[in-house]
A = this chain, B = another copy of it.
């Protein structure tokens, strides 16, 4: 090959990103001065600082964060990891998780942090730490604990700063932030009992810590009311949208009488209602239904859905603040955020 690519004039000229040295040259000062000026240091005179800042703004110059991070050994990016179930391919689809993502985005933006989102196979949660291991983020917020308690413990043992949205469990080394699922479940069931319902079914996979606690809450409410817990009324189904349909069908197959359903998520409640209707049941007339999460659509559903509201806004903030504690090397206690029953028409 006689010639290689043109030496300079090429596309580098048209596109090369400005760097501090360029600003320095154009301003007739050294890079040190530019650096200090842009950082607002008192070591430069007011006059030159203003001059440099204006020049930078007019040229749309911004400091290269990567280089800055390298030099300062700091970083203002937080990793948000959403595990997905490789078996069911349950992706970023449940509206609740997506709302949580939004809430985190708000909380992080407010504090000037960036949000690096990634999805990992729930079976290989080790990979969740990758953005941390490679130095891209200062810590990880994981949405959805599922049943991977052990793997999460391992991450925490490795000193990966990580905060998990989910339930508190015994022997837990990592920090969780979650709603008060037991109370939430109790509120929901107590409400149904107060409405005179006698046979309250529970839909949801009670092996998942959060769902299990909600069921525990229901059982507590039943006991308090002097009613007995009937295992035949508990149907374990996945979190997938079809879950509701499957649960209703399974319940009908069992032939157990029921007059109320407490579903582990709003999505499940909605599909349950639809399926119940297809089978000729009236909601709430014959079967009262209560969901969980209070996703945005809950109020717009037909009938408007009674549900336990998850404190999304506070959750986002709490997750972030606990993570920052960990990042700073302080211990971060797990938090439980109060939940609230929102009564709408699906249960009264």
Residues of B within 8 A of A111 (CB): none
Would you call B114 and A115 a contact (CB within 8 A)?
no
Report the count of interface residues on A (CB-CB < 8 A). Answer: 57
Q: Closest approach, in angstroms, between the C-beta of A75 and any C-beta of chain B?
A: 8
Residue numbers in B under 8 Å from A95 (CB-CB): 95, 98, 296-297
**CB atoms of A131 and B118 under 8 A apart:** no
Can you tell how many copies of this chain the complex includes?
A: 2
A92 in the interface (beta carbon within 8 A): yes
B75, B115, B119, B135: which contacts A116 (Cβ < 8 A)?
B115
Say whether A277 contacts B297, CB under 8 Å: no
Are A102 and B93 in contact, CB atoms less than 8 angstroms apart?
yes
A159 vs B80: C-alpha distance when bound (angstroms): 29
The stretch that binds B, out of A40-48, A58-66, A228-236, A252-260, is A58-66
Known contacts A11-B329, A66-B66, A241-B296; A105/B93 CB under 8 A: no
- A134 interface contact, C-beta 8 A: yes
Shortest distance between the CB of A346 and any CB in chain B (Å):
11
Q: Is A171 part of the contact surface with B, judged by Cβ < 8 Å?
A: no
User: What string of 1s and 0s marks CB contacts (under 8 Å) between A114-142 and chain B?
Assistant: 11111100000000001101111000000
A159 in complex: contacting residue of B15, B66, B93, CB < 8 Å: B15
Interchain CB contact under 8 A, B302 and A62: no
Task: For the complex of A and B, list the 4 residue pairs with the smallest distance between their C-beta atoms, beginning with the closest.
Answer: A92-B102, A98-B98, A64-B135, A65-B134
- A sample of 9 inter-chain contacts (CB < 8 A) reads A15-B159, A62-B130, A64-B134, A66-B66, A67-B135, A92-B98, A114-B118, A117-B117, A267-B300
